[in-house]
Amino acid sequence: MAYNILIVDDSAIVRKVVGRAVRMTGEDIGEIFEATNGREAIDILDAQWIDLMFADLNMPVMNGVEMVEEMERQGKLKETPVVIVSTDRSEMRMRELKARGVREYLNKPFTPEGIRDIMSRLLGKTPENTTTD
Amino acid sequence: MEMKPVQDDAILDSLKQTLVGTLEDFAFVFAEIDSGDAPPTLPADDYISAVVAFTGSAQCGELQVAVPVAQAKEIAANVLGLEPEDVGDTETIDAIKEWSNIVAGALTATLFGVETTFLLSAPSATAIKPDDVMRFQQLPGAVKLLTDGNPVVALLKFS
């Protein structure tokens, strides 16, 4: 089964780096979709099946926290695992987001191994919730 | 609210360490802290300047970083795994904006702890000329790093 991935970040360079790391994992990747803010991400989720989502927090139009709240309202958080990839190191925010249903939290700058380990866990190999640097 | 450059030595040391560490982690670029013994010289190159504001219950402020265009291109190339000549202007600017964002996130956590929550703005970027860089690096509290001999300048302000 090929996995569809959604990368949500207002930085084009981050989207490219996350996308490259995703393709390096060795997982069977279908399509990689990109959104520059939470609103665009919600629109993509309405139109496409997404197996895993990597999302920034600080974005214009709709930020990552607002996007997670909207996904929670629409029941999409249960369908699509969300990984926050952010420079925000607040443990309070990590706890709040995880309590809402966010699955993982990855600090920037991240390594390809960090992406690989998270994908391995969330796509069914080792179901754990941890924070990865 | 008026912002003033931070001149506290301990905070500036944290800023320097964060700049060096994040540049290495983000872009595999090694930097050294300029001792400030030599007088600043007029840069030969234009710079890209990125600003990110942070708002929190503990402190509000902003961080500005300024990087020579050629160095910024190398940073973007390293991040993307490309040669510098294959990196476009948008990617170059984007890399410096992202680095400023990473520095702000790491620095606020270092200074105020990970139990404190901050809201970071989306970074903005502008091009600045050598004359303006010269003035920028002479501001009180301005921090200077050297990457391959190229000065990178940063300024932290608190409200």
Query: Tell me, which fold does domain B4-35+43-158 have in CATH?
Result: Chemotaxis protein chec (3.40.1550)
CB contact under 8 A, B115 and A92: yes
Mean of the per-residue pLDDT values of chain A: 91
For chain B, the structural domain boundaries read 4-35+43-158
CA distances from B55 to B4, B120, B121 (A): 15, 6, 8
Q: What is the pLDDT of residue A130?
A: 45
Among all chains, which residue has been given the structure tokens 């393709």? A23
What is the DSSP annotation of B102-121? Answer: HHHHHHHHHHH-TTS-EEEP
Contacts of B114 in chain A (CB under 8 A): 89-92
CATH code for the domain defined by A3-122: 3.40.50.2300
Tell me the average pLDDT across B24-44.
83
CA distance A11 to chain B (A): 6
Nearest CA in chain A to B56: A90
Whether B5 shows a pLDDT value over 80: the answer reads yes
Alpha carbons A64 and A60: distance in angstroms, whole number: 9
Nearest CA in chain A to B121: A58
Q: Collect all residues from B whose CB is shorter than 8 A from any CB in A.
A: 22, 25-26, 76, 79-81, 90-91, 94-95, 97-98, 101-102, 104-106, 108-109, 114-122
Tell me the average pLDDT across B134-153.
89
The secondary element (H helix, E strand) that includes residue A83 is strand A82-86
pLDDT tens for A63-86 read 999 999 999 999 999 999 999 999
pLDDT tens for B60-92 read 999 999 999 999 999 999 999 999 999 999 999
Contacts of B120 in chain A (CB under 8 A): 58, 87-88
For chain A, the structural domain boundaries read 3-122
Alpha carbons A18 and A31: distance in angstroms, whole number: 13
Tell me the average pLDDT across B138-148.
90
CA distance A49 to chain B (A): 28
